[in-house]
Amino acid sequence: MYDLAGRTLIILGVVLVLVGVVLMLLPKIGGLPLDFHFRIGNAEIYVPLGTSILISILLTLLLNGIFWLIAWLTRG
């Protein structure tokens, strides 16, 4: 029981470190090609479509990896 809890905490720690690194590098990347920025008079509209697609893909891969890993750890 403690073995599974320890492995899970280590995996969550690694995931948190990776998310932190991505968040630190995100401002340096700048806008993606599908991020739109409109200025109409005094109003500004920012539509981060490319960023939304990228985050969706990354979260899908990350969560599928976590679920696969949890299933693998609890199997044996």
Question: Which 3 state secondary structure label does DSSP give 48?
Answer: strand
Average pLDDT, the chain: 83
When pLDDT is averaged across residues 60-72 and rounded to a whole number, the result is 86
Would you say the C-alpha torsion 34, 38, 43, 44 has a positive or negative sign?
positive
When pLDDT is averaged across residues 10-32 and rounded to a whole number, the result is 79
**Greater pLDDT, 19 or 48:** 48
Q: pTM for the full model?
A: 0.56
Q: What are phi and psi of 41, to 5 degrees?
A: 65, -120
